[in-house]
A and B are shown apart, each in its own frame.
Chain A
Amino acid sequence: MIVLVVTLVVGMIAGFLAQRSRLCFVGGLRDFFLIGDTELLKGALAFFLAAWLMFPLASLLGGSVWQVAEIQSPAVASGRTAMESLPAAPHNQSPADSFEESNGPAVPFRPWLPATVAVLAGAGLGLVSILANGCPLRQHVLAAQGAKDGSYYLGGFYIGAVLYHTTLQPWLSQLLP
């Protein structure tokens, strides 16, 4: 229950700050390429640096433990989150499941797969975000400002989540075991 409230509050803070500052991570690189403007790029770098400083600090303050050793653990190194690494029903498997305890026959170990999937999916995300004129965070802000394009984007966004998990993901996890 408290997670519900916390995410709502975090969302409100982030939404307000992002609206007042026109923050967009994708726009950072785009503005730098097109007009040489570095304001948004500095925003993305500041986000990264602040997070990088805060993770060990948060774990020192008593939050979830952050250890350097955890980075080398297979689950994190493969990029799979705790949810997607559960060896449960097939619809919970992620595409990069190669060296996980699987319920089927042994499959060849392909260490290049997680990085390749990450690069391709990241490229797709970057491309789509530029065409839509904003990263997902910025799209929420635009929709809240009244731009109807943003509202249609959000419609596709949320419906896309349901569609992905019902249709595309089982297909992908069979394609890339």
Chain B
Amino acid sequence: MRQTLKPWVAAGLIAVVAVLAGAFFVTEPQPYGLCVACHARDLADGTLNMLFQFDLPVSPAASDWPLLTGVGLLIGAHFGARVGGETQHRAAKGPLKSFLLGMLAMIFSLIALGCTTRLLLRAAYGDSIAYWAVGGTALGISIATGILAYSARR
């Protein structure tokens, strides 16, 4: 799997696009240009609201139409995988575990008011609470990496 793009180049471009989108279009709870978790919440809640007339909370930016960031991510990534010939049909090794981890990740993201992407955006915006959340994320990563390394050595 050749890595054809340096991560820092890709990250810089994504940040520029996300900030511009957030400043001009997706403006309501600043900064909101790109958040995998919050936009996923808007997509899920907004779609259910439109289909079944529920009253699930969505952010002000999504009050008319649900946000399609998740759909765009899947389309873009699939296109990238096709271009590089990296599509693979891997069977699931732990479906229930992945399902639960996904649910926990969403819940923690919503409590921390952002996924890892938006926490970095908010920290760059100057939101002082985001500094704490990014620090907490680093702490959680360290703990989990330590657990993985320790259990691999046994």
Residues of A within 8 A of B (CB): 1-4, 6-23, 25-26, 29-30, 33-34, 39-40, 42-52, 54-55, 58-59, 61-64, 66, 68, 70-71, 76-84, 91-92, 94-95, 114-115, 117-132, 135-137, 139-141, 143-166, 168-169, 172
Instruction: Let me know if B51 is at the binding interface, CB within 8 A.
Output: no
Q: A3-B26, A129-B105, A157-B105 are in contact. Are A121 and B4 (CB under 8 A)?
A: no
A interface majority secondary structure: helix
B142 touches A29 (CB 8 A): yes
Please indicate which of the listed interface residues A61, A80, A157 has the most CB atoms of chain B within 10 Å of its own CB: A157
Q: Which residues of A contact B8 (CB under 8 A)?
A: 39, 42-43, 45-46
Interchain CB contact under 8 A, A13 and B14: yes
Contact A81 B145 (CB under 8 A): no
Main secondary structure of the interface of B (DSSP, over half): helix
What 1/0 flags go to B50-78 for Cβ under 8 Å of A?
Answer: 00000011111110111111111111111
Question: CA separation between A50 and B115, bound complex, in Å?
Answer: 18
Report yes or no: B77 in contact with A153, Cβ–Cβ below 8 A: no
Decide: A39 and B7 in contact? CB cutoff 8 A.
yes
Inter-subunit contact B45/A14 (CB<8 Å): no
For residue A15, give the distance in angstroms from its CB to the closest CB of chain B: 3
A129-B116 contact given A23-B11, A161-B41, CB 8 Å threshold: yes
How far apart sit A39 and B86, CA to CA, in the bound complex (Å)?
20
Most buried by B among A2, A61, A79: A79
Decide: B141 and A47 in contact? CB cutoff 8 A: no
Contacts of B129 in A (CB 8 A): 77-79, 114-115, 118
Q: Which residues 75-97 of B have a CB within 8 angstroms of A?
A: 75-81, 83-84, 86-96
What is the bound-complex CA distance between A128 and B108, given in angstroms?
9
Query: Of B69, B96, B116, which contacts A11 at CB under 8 A?
Result: B69
A-B contact pairs, 18 of them (CB 8 A): A2-B25, A10-B33, A13-B14, A15-B76, A17-B5, A18-B80, A22-B3, A29-B141, A47-B12, A55-B126, A81-B32, A82-B30, A118-B132, A144-B73, A147-B88, A153-B102, A157-B102, A161-B44
Chain B interface residue number, banded: 35 or more
Known: A51-B124, A64-B23, A164-B107. A127 touches B77 (CB 8 A): no
Given A1-B65, A55-B124, A122-B119; A10-B17 close (CB under 8 Å): yes
Q: Do the beta carbons of B23 and A63 come within 8 Å of each other?
A: yes
Known: A118-B136, A122-B134. A71 touches B127 (CB 8 A): yes
In the assembled complex, the Cα of A144 lies from the Cα of B149 at a distance in Å of: 28
- Looking at the assembled complex, report how far the CB atom of B24 sits from the nearest CB atom of chain A, in whole angstroms: 5
**What distance in Å separates the Cβ of B141 from its nearest Cβ neighbour in chain A?**
4
Contact B77 A145 (CB under 8 A): yes
Whether A140 lies near B127 (C-beta < 8 A) is no
Question: Which residues of chain A come closer than 8 Å to B137, judged between CB atoms?
Answer: 26, 122-123, 125-126
CB distance from A14 to the nearest CB of B (A): 5
Asked if B154 is an interface residue, CB under 8 A from chain A, the answer is no
Bound Cα distance from A160 to B108, whole angstroms: 10
